[in-house]
Amino acid sequence: MSITDFVKILEVKRYSLNTIKAYESVVKLARSYFQKPLHDVSEDQLHQYFYELIHSKNISIAYQKQIALGLKLYYKEIYNKNIHLELLVPKRNSKTLPVILSLQDVNSLIYAAKNSKHKSMIALVYSAGLRVGEMINMKILDIDSKRMIIHVKQAKGRKDRIVPLSEKLLLMLRAYYKEYSPKIYLFEGQKRGKYSTSSFNKFLKAAAKRANIKKEFSAHSLRHSYATHLLEKGTDIRIIQKLLGHNSIKTTMLYTQVTSPMLQNIKSPFDE
DSSP codes joined into one string, the chain: --HHHHHHHHHHTT--HHHHHHHHHHHHHHHHHHTS-GGG--HHHHHHHHHHHHHHS---HHHHHHHHHHHHHHHHHHH-----GGGGS-SS---PPPP---HHHHHHHHHHSSSHHHHHHHHHHHHHT--HHHHHT-BGGGEETTTTEEEE-S-TTS--EEEEPPHHHHHHHHHHHHHH--SSBSSB-TTSSBPPHHHHHHHHHHHHHHTT--S---THHHHHHHHHHHHHTT--HHHHHHHHT-S-HHHHGGGGGS-HHHHHTSPPGGG-
Supply the residues annotated as catalytic. Answer: 131, 156, 220, 223, 246, 255
